[in-house]
């Protein structure tokens, strides 16, 4: 589909709504998402597989806003979660527990119990210690835990080291040999029911090869287990499908689907996928306004445009050296083009959204940071006691506030001071400011 973020009549629109109107109504910084984009991406992924549709388990961590989860639940999507918090969100959004897979290396006892009682579709088990704990908790609750073992196939996904997860040096999953041993144990453990096998080798993956190599590893394990009469019902290849941020090609999802279908053709296995970024990244933008221009006054200095969004709102440029396109929302300024560093108000030199970017800027300009629908708001924080941004979802010509901007009161609501301490107060001289 064409982008839902398009310049029309000299200004950027989100579907049919002018971005300037959204900024006037809800302020800045604000994340804005397109409903049509999310739905089209979901359908595109599903359609690519034709009459062998995968069970899509949307990776909640990419964008966990309730309204976004609700949209995917309405489309029939399940969810990949990694915490009790994400589980609460999915339930609140009307997600079906029978379509929830629970990943993550550090599930607490409390989280296991929560999911066991529901019960969810399966636990993607990531270590032998978690495997043992799950047996214990399932036994105590009188439940049978459905499991998949997350395999670490030791495959290089050729992505940023922080988001590469399928190498043996990474903390995720268990090596092939141990996974096979755990399946053999699970087979004779009444508290466990084997449902699937899974992997997730990394995120923002550009080519098919590593994903297909991972599929081969899993398929050969399925065969080894089948020979021992241990049946695997679903095969979960995780997420990882890359998207276009700058000029990289969008992931060829049709080729991916065709290659997987070919390999699964003669097998009764249900394919499962856990996409996050692919579904939402390019369906979101971050609107931000230029507060001040601080041009270089000497040759060794840089030109800074100080905007009202910061690394607490969008940490991807700082954390992964990620590129996000930036453009002016309306083409009104007659300023000449200059290379700007777009920086926020946070007291760190790593606080930037982009660097050395040719832009025509004036103070007060409204800017759009692209590709912010995945791992944008979801990774935001209150650093420097900044209120987290608002989130708006556009549907045709309507825009809905799906998370209001935080207030200082929201931030302070969870904190408290110590009770008054009369002794300490007395020991301080009045002019030292004692209370
Ligand atoms: N499944 C599991 C078990 C995962 O750990 C992840 C992402 C996904 C699925 C979804 O992956 P995706 O389809 O979105 O690539 N904050 C980073 C990305 C971290 C990804 C973590 N795991 C970023 O902004 O690039």
Is 347 designated active site? yes
CA of 400 to the centre of ligand 1 (A): 27
Helix ranges restricted to H, 14-65: 19-26, 35-48
Q: Is the pLDDT of residue 334 over 80?
A: no
Distance between CA atoms of residues 59 and 81, nearest Å: 6
What's the 202 CA to ligand 1 centre distance in angstroms? 7
Q: Flag whether pLDDT at 434 surpasses 70.
A: no
Sign (positive/negative) of CA torsion 2, 70, 411, 111? negative
Same domain, 282 and 403: yes
Q: Whole-angstrom Cα distance, residue 256 to residue 242?
A: 12
Q: According to the model, what pLDDT value does residue 168 have?
A: 87
CATH assignment of the domain containing 213: 3.20.20.10
Residues ≥6 apart with Cβ < 8 Å to 205: 157, 158, 159, 211, 240, 241, 242, 251
How far apart are the CA of 164 and the centre of ligand 1, in A?
Answer: 9
pLDDT score at 160: 85
| pTM as predicted | 0.96
Average pLDDT over residues 194-208: 96
Handedness of CA 3, 251, 67, 162 (dihedral sign): negative
Q: What is the model's pLDDT at position 416? A: 97
- Whether 310 has a pLDDT exceeding 60, the answer reads yes
pLDDT band at 337 (very low <50, low <70, confident <90, very high): very high
For residue 164 the two structure tokens come to 């590469």
Out of 273, 293, 326, a domain closes at 273
Residue with tokens 């408290």: 416
Choose which residue among 203, 281, 319 to substitute to test ligand 1 binding: the one with the highest number of ligand atoms within 8 A of its C-beta: 203
Q: Which two tokens stand for residue 349?
A: 């030199």
Confidence of residue 424 (pLDDT cuts 50, 70, 90): low
Instruction: Mark whether 317 and 435 lie in a shared domain.
Output: yes
3-state class of 21 per DSSP? helix
Percentage of the chain exceeding pLDDT 90: 90
Report whether 41 contacts 20 (CB < 8 A): no
Average per-residue pLDDT for the chain: 95
Collapsed DSSP state (helix, strand, coil) of residue 20: helix
CA 266 to ligand 1 center in whole angstroms:
30
Q: Tokens standing for 61? A: 């961590």
Q: Residue whose CA is closest, atom 22 of ligand 1?
A: 203
What's the CA gap between 132 and 107, in Å, rounded? 12
pLDDT tier, 199 (very low <50, low <70, confident <90, very high otherwise): very high
In angstroms, what is the span from residue 273 Cα to ligand 1's centroid?
12
Beta strands in 117-203 (DSSP E): 122-125, 145-150, 192-198
Q: Span 357-368, mean pLDDT?
A: 96
Q: 96 φ, ψ to 5°?
A: -85, 120
Query: How many Å lie between the centroid of ligand 1 and the Cα of residue 240?
Result: 6
* CB of 359 closer than 8 Å to CB of 328: yes
The ligand 1 atom nearest the CA atom of 278: 13
Supply the pLDDT for residue 425. 57
Q: Specify the ligand 1 atom closest to the Cα of 104.
A: 3
Q: How far apart are the first and last CA of the chain?
A: 63
pLDDT at 430: 63
Number of domains in the chain: 2
322, 250: one domain: no
Position 46 in a domain: no
Residue 100, Cα to own-chain centre: how many angstroms? Answer: 16
Please tell me the residue having the least CA distance from ligand 1 atom 8.
Answer: 239
Site to substitute for ligand 1 among 277, 318, 371, most atoms within 8 A of C-beta: 277
| Helix 109-117 / helix 128-141 crossing angle, nearest 10 deg | 50
Residues 159 and 250 in one domain: yes
The pLDDT tens digits for 103-149 are 999 999 999 999 999 999 999 999 999 999 999 999 999 999 999 99
Q: Which pLDDT band, with edges at 50, 70 and 90, does 18 fall under?
A: very high
Task: Provide the domain limits for residue 206.
Answer: 104-273
**Best probe residue, ligand 1, of 124, 238, 256, 278 (max atoms within 8 Å of C-beta):** 238
Of 273, 297, 329, the residue at which a domain comes to its end is 273
Residue found by looking up tokens 């200004």 in the block: 11
Atom index in ligand 1 nearest the CA of residue 160 equals: 25
Angle of CA points 377, 379, 384, to nearest 5°: 90
**Catalytic site residue from 122, 199, 347, 368:** 347
For 206-219, write each residue's pLDDT tens digit.
999 999 999 999 99
Same domain as 283, residue 262:
no
Q: How confident is the model at residue 422 (pLDDT cuts 50, 70, 90)?
A: confident
Burial class (CB in 10 A: 0-12, 13-18, 19+), 407: exposed
* Rounded Cα gap, residues 54 and 45, in angstroms: 9
Closest by CA position to 150, among listed 105, 212, 210? 105
Q: Comparing C-alpha atoms, which of 305, 319, 288, 242 is closest to residue 390?
A: 288
313 and 283 within one domain: yes
Same domain, 5 and 116: no
- Report DSSP state, residue 266: T
Residues contacting ligand 1 via CB (< 6 Å) = 59, 61-62, 80, 103, 163, 200, 203-204, 238-241, 274-278, 316, 320, 375, 379
Per-residue pLDDT at 408 = 97
Give the tens place of pLDDT for each residue, 146-184.
999 999 999 988 888 888 888 888 899 999 999 999 999
Query: Does a structural domain hold residue 199?
Result: yes
Question: Is the pLDDT confidence value at 397 over 60?
Answer: yes
Average pLDDT over residues 267-280: 98
Q: Can you give the C-alpha Rg of the chain in angstroms?
A: 24
Residues 190 and 198: their CA atoms lie apart, in Å, by: 21
Asked if the structure places residue 73 within a domain, the reply is: no
Q: Which of the four pLDDT bands, split at 50, 70 and 90, describes residue 433?
A: low
Query: Same domain for 291 and 208?
Result: no
Atom 19 in ligand 1: residue holding the nearest Cα: 163
Longest dimension (CA), the chain: 84
């Amino acid at each position: 589909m064409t982008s839902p973020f398009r310049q029309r009549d000299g200004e950027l629109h989100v579907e049919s709504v002018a971005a300037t109107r959204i900024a006037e109504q809800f302020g800045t910084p604000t994340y804005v998402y397109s409903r049509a984009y999310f739905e089209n991406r979901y359908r595109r992924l599903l359609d690519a597989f034709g009459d062998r549709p995968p069970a899509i388990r949307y990776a909640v961590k990419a964008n966990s806003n309730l309204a976004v989860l609700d949209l995917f639940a309405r489309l029939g999507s399940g969810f990949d979660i990694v915490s009790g918090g994400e589980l609460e969100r999915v339930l609140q959004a009307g997600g079906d527990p029978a379509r929830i897979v629970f990943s993550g290396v550090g599930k607490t006892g409390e989280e296991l119990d929560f999911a066991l009682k529901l019960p969810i579709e399966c636990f993607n088990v990531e270590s032998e210690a978690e495997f043992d704990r799950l047996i214990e908790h399932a036994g105590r609750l009188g439940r049978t835990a459905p499991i998949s073992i997350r395999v670490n196939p030791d495959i290089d996904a050729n992505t940023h080291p922080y988001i590469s997860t399928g190498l043996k040096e990474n903390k995720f999953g268990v090596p092939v040999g141990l996974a096979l041993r755990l399946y053999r144990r699970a087979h004779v453990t009444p508290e466990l029911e084997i449902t699937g096998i899974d992997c997730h080798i990394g995120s923002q993956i550009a080519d098919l090869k590593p994903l297909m190599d991972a599929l081969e590893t899993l398929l050969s394990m399925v065969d080894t287990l089948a020979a021992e009469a241990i049946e695997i019902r679903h095969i979960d290849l995780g997420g990882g499908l890359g998207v276009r941020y700058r000029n990289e090609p969008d992931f060829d999802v049709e080729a991916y689907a065709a290659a997987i279908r070919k390999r699964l053709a003669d097998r009764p296995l249900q394919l499962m996928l856990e996409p996050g970024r692919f579904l939402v990244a390019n369906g979101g933008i971050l609107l931000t306004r230029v507060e001040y221009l601080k041009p270089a006054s000497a040759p060794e200095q840089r030109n800074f445009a100080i905007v009202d969004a910061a690394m607490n709102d969008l940490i991807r440029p700082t954390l992964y050296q990620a590129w996000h396109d930036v453009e002016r929302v309306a083409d009104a300024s007659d300023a000449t083009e200059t290379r700007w560093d777009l920086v926020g108000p946070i007291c760190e030199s790593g606080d930037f959204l982009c660097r050395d970017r040719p832009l025509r800027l004036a103070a007060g300009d409204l800017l759009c940071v692209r590709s912010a629908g995945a791992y944008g708001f979801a990774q935001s924080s209150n650093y420097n006691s900044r209120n987290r941004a608002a989130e708006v979802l556009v549907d045709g010509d309507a825009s809905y506030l799906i998370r209001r901007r935080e207030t200082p009161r929201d931030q302070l609501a969870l904190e408290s001071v110590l009770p008054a301490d009369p002794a300490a107060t007395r020991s301080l001289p009045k002019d030292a400011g004692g209370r």
